[in-house]
Amino acid sequence: MRANLHEIFLTAYRGLRPRAPVPEFRVEFYPFANVNNTIRLRDSRMHVRISDLLEGAPESVLEAIAHILLAKVYRQPIEPGHSTRFRRYVASKDIRAKTHLVRQVRGRKRLGSPRGFIYDLEQIFEDLNVRFFHGLLARPQMTWSQIRSRRSLAHYDPAHNTIVVSRIFDHVRVPQYALEYIVYHEMLHLKHPVKLRGSRRCVHGPEFQAEEKLFPQLEKAKAFLKQL
Ligand SMILES: [Zn+2]
């Protein structure tokens, strides 16, 4: 662990919880296949793994990550400044190129491939994860449906931790933003688990709806889906 990195986390912790006792921090860079960052508090020890793609990141970006991760653990609002700094950095050309490369090497092939003819669902997921969730959502199994369903466009299945997307979206005539919106919607279900209420499978509470509005091409995407 870089001494520096440790200090960055302590400072971020103090910023969020000035008077609380400080847990023991274990922070390390980790060779994820993507820009993922994970944090876990276990027995008063904080385990943090930061994508090794961010190893060369400037201190201000690491500060932003520390703040975002700790805010998540303690359920505190994320400061927009940190949020923007992190997203800008990850979206920068250098990092995108690096990520692309690493993905080729580290990405594993699996059964029920997320790769379609046109779109790769895992890639769509990871891009959205960085753009909207600070890379914090753990990726479920991503898979194209066997049949070209029009009735069920996509579905998150918590029992099997899988997002299934109808194969009709794997087509050149489908704009990427439409598919992204479909996947983004399911990712929100992942983020806001449904409390069982009768037999309703798809519950969109006020928080869910507010977050859905953050998708930039929401109206265009909805219009496209309507004419499917
Ligand atoms: Zn839904």
CA distance from start to end of the chain: 51
pTM of the full structure: 0.58
Residue with the two structure tokens 């709806």: 209
CA of 139 from ligand 1 middle (Å) equals 18
pLDDT tens for the chain, 228 residues long, are 455 889 999 999 999 999 999 999 999 888 887 788 999 998 889 999 998 888 888 899 999 999 999 999 999 999 999 999 999 998 887 888 777 767 765 655 444 578 888 999 999 999 999 999 999 999 999 999 877 777 778 888 777 888 989 999 999 899 999 999 999 999 999 998 766 555 445 578 888 999 999 999 999 999 999 988
Contacts of 34 (CB under 8 A, 6+ apart): 51, 53, 99, 102, 103, 126, 129, 135
CA of 97 from ligand 1 middle (Å) equals 33
CA of 113 from ligand 1 middle (Å) equals 23
